[in-house]
Amino acid sequence: MIIKNLIKLPIFKRLIPSIFKRYIFFTGNYFKSKNISGVTYYLDTRYLIDRNFYLRENYEDYLYSIANKLIILNKVNFFLDIGSCWGIYSLRLSSLKKLRILSFDPILDNIKRLKKMIKINNLRNIQTFNTALGSKKGKVKFYGLEKFTPNYSLYDKKYKNFTISKIDKLDNLIKINKKVLYLKVDIERHEYHFLLGAKNILKKNNIILQIEIHEKNKKKVLNYLKLKKFKLIHNYNADYIFSNFKIKKPQEALF
């Protein structure tokens, strides 16, 4: 709690993470277990995302707060965590016991850690899928900048660090009709192809879609969603929130 508050001060914002990184690599003491808001996380602090979450105890809190409120207000049945990494969104939302959570990630180590935390916390409402999502079925290579990165892309072929994953259409993997779904999509420039492979899910359900859109994909993604009768609710940097039905919004000024 002390570190969480200190790191907010400008003088410590960079200093504390820098010292902590040197400490964990020098000592080899990088696996950390930490309870945050009732969920026990198993973190590998060699990864930047884990270090930040361990020290700050938050991740994309503005967007997460919106997602959490929209899910509750609109009585969402399913949360689809597309590009879940090791499940920060999924684990934080797991306290909503009536919410079914489907977590998709192509990186096996991410899914293994998510499964470990599901077991540690005795969670019953998260189901994992170790696969990439797109507009075809097969196998693909994902490229990462460095060894200790949880984030890989299909498009950064200049990076020598890579892993092989299955890829499939969302429509092939799940069959859900006439439900309320919240989709959080963060898949490193593959968002357009994901939408093409999810057309049945998008058509047959009431959808709230939170999607990170890469600038070069922006025009065709926005045009596609407009064609499918999705309306823009909110935009925050590269993240956009759409819906294909009239949603209930939080009364407080989040938007």
Report the pLDDT value the prediction gives residue 145, as an integer from 0 to 100.
82
Quick check: 11 pLDDT over 90? no
Report the pLDDT value the prediction gives residue 231, as an integer from 0 to 100.
97
Q: Give me the percent of the chain exceeding a pLDDT of 70.
A: 98
Q: How confident is the model at residue 133 (pLDDT cuts 50, 70, 90)?
A: very high
Beta pairing partners, 181: 78, 207
Averaging pLDDT over each range in 24-28, 210-214, 251-255, which range is the top one? 210-214
Quick check: 1 pLDDT over 70? no
Each residue's pLDDT tens digit, 96-130: 999 999 999 999 999 999 999 999 999 999 999 99
- Higher-confidence residue of 162 and 210: namely 210
Quick check: 85 pLDDT over 80? yes
Report the pLDDT value the prediction gives residue 13, as an integer from 0 to 100.
81
Report the pLDDT value the prediction gives residue 255, as an integer from 0 to 100.
62
- Each as own residue / partner, the long-range contacts of residues 138-144 (CB below 8 Å, 24 or more positions apart, any chain) are 138/166, 138/167, 139/164, 139/165, 139/166, 139/167, 140/106, 140/164, 140/165, 140/167, 141/165, 142/106, 142/107
> At how many degrees (to 10) do helices 48-56 and 15-27 cross?
120
Report the pLDDT value the prediction gives residue 250, as an integer from 0 to 100.
86
Report the pLDDT value the prediction gives residue 67, as an integer from 0 to 100.
96
Domain ranges for the chain, please list them: 2-56, 61-243
Report the pLDDT value the prediction gives residue 28, as an integer from 0 to 100.
92
The domain made up of 61-243 is a member of CATH 2.60.120.10: no
